[in-house]
Chain A
Amino acid sequence: AQKVTQAQTEISVVEKEDVTLDCVYETRDTTYYLFWYKQPPSGELVFLIRRNSFDEQNEISGRYSWNFQKSTSSFNFTITASQVVDSAVYFCALSEAGRGSTLGRLYFGRGTQLTVWP
């Protein structure tokens, strides 16, 4: 079963629009970590944010914000006033820390290709 689901395969927006990338995860562990990575066309995965399961506080970093809701097992990512440079594939990922988990393993979603048009 897929541990991380990113239902949106591709999203296209016009510059300055707000866009939300969805991420739904599945785990039985009470301690786990969620991540978002950005992969521009150059190929390098860029770390954006890490959240642990005990911290449901939403976070804002410039134009980026994240909404973590344990009740719906979601960790959504919003880009406000999108720019062409935001065009990339965005991956949501899960790391489990419970007993029997494979420590160090990141479970990636399939990614969402975001295209921002000028």
Chain B
Amino acid sequence: DTEVTQTPKHLVMGMTNKKSLKCEQHMGHRAMYWYKQKAKKPPELMFVYSYEKLSINESVPSRFSPECPNSSLLNLHLHALQPEDSALYLCASSQEPYGQGDEQYFGPGTRLTVT
């Protein structure tokens, strides 16, 4: 089973709202990732968690706050977003804690619209 699940599939939020994106995997993977993807662009890495610890933060604005409650779950808390944050947010996981050469398995994504 190589499934990564993400909820919700779609989210519309105002600039003053607070919302959370959720990601779950049950493959025993020790690395989890958040990506942001704008239309017709490749995914851009935002955060990497290895062994439930934040190992990479790609200078993401503080209005995005990641959380890894346990090895299977990854959340992305959103607050005071801007319209330009509208995008597809993808979660991924890989076997090794530092993802060294391992393929990443992606979830279906959350399509976020900020109004």
Contacts and interface: CB of A to CB of B under 8 A. Distances in A.
Interface of A: 31-33, 35, 37, 42-47, 50, 52, 91, 95, 97, 102-106, 108-111
A109 B31 CA distance: 22
B109 interface: yes
A42 B40 CA distance: 13
A1 B65 CA distance: 29
Contact of A104 (B40, B43, B55): B55
B98 interface: yes
A42 B110 CA distance: 11
Contact of B105 (A47, A104, A105): A47
A35 B104 CA distance: 10
B100 A45 contact: no
Nearest to A45: B106
Contacts of B33: 104
Interface residues of B, number: 29
Nearest to A111: B42
A15 to B, nearest CB: 24
A97 B2 CA distance: 24
Given A104-B31, A104-B48, A43 B101 contact: no
Contact of A44 (B42, B55, B94, B106): B106
A105 B42 contact: no
B101 A106 contact: no
B56 interface: yes
A104 B98 contact: yes
Contacts of B90: 43-45
Contacts of A43: 88, 90, 108-109, 111
A2 B66 CA distance: 28
Contacts of A50: 101-103
B90 to A, nearest CB: 7
B45 interface: yes
Q: Shortest 9 CB-CB distances between A and B: which pairs?
A: A104-B99, A108-B42, A103-B98, A45-B106, A33-B101, A44-B108, A43-B109, A50-B103, A47-B103
B55 to A, nearest CB: 7
B111 A104 contact: no
A97 B100 CA distance: 6
